[in-house]
């Protein structure tokens, strides 16, 4: 008789992937492009979202799902103050969103009214990498003060991206950040990756990022 093993982790991942596929179907049927934003705490995810809303609001209806490890609505409140619908998912201490959580978030939005769904994942450079949500694109927001070695130290989250944003470039004069070393780390993991360097403070680079995203949303509707 052979020992039977139960691959619990694999099964959980499969279940997540199944729900992610259902989420994708819901988004596609409603013609909504879904963007999953991952980053460290304090990299400026919410600031980038607010800048993106400001640039694209005249052209697109944008919904935001905020993933938070604690029941504080700081980020969701900012999005609603910017005039867009927001849903907060409190993960109850967990370090990432997963597809079933996003599914519940989608149920709380009128998807047919939206063109773009932005998901702000929990601030974490490790856990979110392991859980597909069903969105159409994954972006990591790096920030200058985090340092230039992050792609080397956190390769799982920097791998398999559709685009990367390098935020807070206004701080470059005050920080030892070797942009070539950082870009080399990104390139090893994602050859030819689209990259936007920007500042939510000065507005530099925001337009290029917003135009790229607008094109993705419009292509998705075709």
Residue numbers at the binding site for its own copies (CB under 8 A): 40-42, 68-70, 72, 74, 93-95, 122-127, 130, 143, 145-147, 149-150, 152-156, 168, 170-171, 174-175
CA–CA gap between residue 88 and residue 64 (Å, rounded): 9
Closest by CA to 125, choosing from 154, 167, 160, 152, is 154
In the complex with its own copies, the residue whose CB is nearer, 63 or 67, is 67
In the complex with its own copies, the residue whose CB is nearer, 24 or 78, is 78
**At its nearest, how many Å lie between its own copies and the CB of residue 83?**
21
In the complex with its own copies, the residue whose CB is nearer, 16 or 40, is 40
**At its nearest, how many Å lie between its own copies and the CB of residue 46?**
9
Q: What are phi and psi of 106, to 5 degrees?
A: -60, -35
Three-class SS state of 165: strand
Burial class (CB in 10 A: 0-12, 13-18, 19+), 130: middle
**At its nearest, how many Å lie between its own copies and the CB of residue 50?**
13
**At its nearest, how many Å lie between its own copies and the CB of residue 219?**
33
In the complex with its own copies, the residue whose CB is nearer, 72 or 81, is 72
Q: Are 130 and 95 in contact (CB under 8 A)?
A: no
**At its nearest, how many Å lie between its own copies and the CB of residue 86?**
15
Q: What are phi and psi of 178, to 5 degrees?
A: -90, 100
- Two tokens, residue 28: 């596609």
DSSP letters of 44-103?
A: -HHHHHHHHHHHHTTT--EEEEEEESSS--HHHHHHHHTTS-EEEEE-TT-SS--HHHHH
In the complex with its own copies, the residue whose CB is nearer, 114 or 140, is 140
> How many CB atoms lie under 10 A from the CB of residue 128?
25
In the complex with its own copies, the residue whose CB is nearer, 153 or 184, is 153
**At its nearest, how many Å lie between its own copies and the CB of residue 44?**
8
């Amino acid at each position: 008789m052979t020992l039977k093993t139960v691959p619990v982790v694999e099964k959980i991942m499969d279940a997540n992937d199944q729900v992610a596929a259902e989420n994708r179907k819901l988004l596609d049927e409603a013609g909504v492009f879904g963007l999953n934003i991952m980053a460290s705490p304090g990299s400026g995810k919410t600031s980038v979202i607010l800048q993106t809303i400001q640039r694209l609001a005249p052209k697109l209806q944008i919904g935001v799902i905020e993933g938070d490890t604690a029941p504080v609505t700081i980020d969701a409140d900012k999005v609603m103050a910017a005039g867009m619908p927001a849903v907060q998912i409190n993960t109850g201490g967990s370090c990432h969103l997963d597809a079933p959580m996003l599914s519940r978030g989608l149920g709380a939005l009128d998807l047919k009214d939206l063109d773009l769904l932005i998901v702000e994942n929990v601030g974490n450079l490790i856990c979110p990498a392991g859980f597909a949500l069903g969105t159409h694109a994954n972006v990591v927001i790096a920030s200058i003060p985090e340092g230039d070695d992050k792609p080397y130290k956190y390769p799982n989250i920097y791998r398999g991206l559709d685009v990367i944003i390098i935020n807070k470039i206004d701080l470059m004069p005050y920080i030892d950040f070797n942009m070539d070393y950082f870009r080399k780390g990104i390139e090893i993991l994602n050859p030819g990756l689209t990259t936007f360097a920007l500042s939510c403070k000065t507005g530099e680079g925001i337009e290029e990022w917003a135009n790229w995203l607008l094109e993705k949303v419009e292509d998705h509707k075709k």
